[in-house]
């Protein structure tokens, strides 16, 4: 699929009214509302207003996979220095050989994923920032998951943290499942297939509910740094 043509309306705004989301969730789910009051307001807005390049974000997401935030940040810094650029795109990625990427600590599989991402961008197969405004969540997922190393969860993180889409629930995320387990006092984490029904009352602000579920899961430990932070 190429994204070099105009796409149809409607246009999706970046970000949403966090206060309206807070009030909706507190009203619709008393158990979640109690936790929200305990945790306090979450200002998830600033990242939505920052400049954003989807290829750069996807490349960083690839490099963060299966690593601690600190280790991944170290590798990203090495690659940036080797590229001589803080922006990942098909030109900057292509400036490094596989050997140079490996010297920065990038694994073989991640090197292949970066190469595929760069190839797809050069072929106009990755929607740009402007095109993303006119695609719904599922269209964006369908457009990006064919890229090697990019799964649904990675795209959902982009939808939530970079595009500020209000109604995203990453059902395969362990933090989300753990948060719901603690929220509902369950003996075990719920299965991903059971989450959509549980989350119906959070629509159209499932993203804000997700932010709180992560906080609930991390309440007694240090929060984990994510690739989109």
pLDDT digits (tens, 9 = 90+) for 124-169: 999 999 999 999 999 999 999 999 999 999 999 999 999 999 999 9
pLDDT tens digits for range 56-83: 999 999 999 888 888 999 999 999 999 9
Asked whether residue 91 carries a pLDDT value surpassing 80, the answer given is: yes
pLDDT for the residue 229: 52
The token pair that represents 172 in the structure block: 């395969």
pLDDT for the residue 108: 96
CB-based contacts of 113, cutoff 8 Å, min separation 6: 62, 147, 148, 149, 150
- Average pLDDT of 184-209? 96
The token pair that represents 188 in the structure block: 């075990």
The token pair that represents 55 in the structure block: 């290829």
């Amino acid at each position: 699929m190429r994204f070099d043509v105009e796409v149809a309306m409607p246009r999706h705004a970046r970000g949403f009214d966090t206060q309206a989301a807070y009030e909706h969730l507190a009203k619709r789910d008393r158990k979640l509302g109690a936790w929200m009051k305990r945790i306090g307001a979450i200002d998830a807005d600033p990242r939505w207003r920052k400049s954003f390049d989807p290829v750069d974000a996807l490349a960083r997401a690839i490099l963060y996979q299966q690593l601690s935030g600190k280790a991944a940040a170290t590798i990203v810094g090495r690659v940036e220095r080797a590229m001589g650029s803080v922006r990942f795109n098909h030109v900057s990625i292509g400036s490094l050989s596989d050997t140079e990427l490996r010297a920065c600590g990038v694994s073989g599989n991640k090197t292949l994923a970066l190469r595929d991402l760069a190839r797809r961008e050069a072929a106009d197969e990755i929607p740009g920032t402007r095109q993303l405004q006119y695609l719904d969540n599922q269209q964006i997922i369908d457009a990006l998951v064919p890229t090697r190393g990019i799964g649904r969860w990675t795209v959902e993180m982009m939808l939530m943290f970079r595009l500020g889409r209000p109604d995203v629930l990453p059902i395969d995320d362990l933090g989300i499942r753990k948060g719901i387990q603690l929220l509902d006092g369950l003996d075990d984490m719920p299965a991903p297939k059971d989450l959509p029904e549980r989350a119906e009352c959070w629509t159209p602000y499932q993203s804000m509910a997700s932010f709180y579920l992560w906080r609930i899961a991390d309440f007694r430990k240090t929060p984990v740094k994510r690739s989109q932070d």
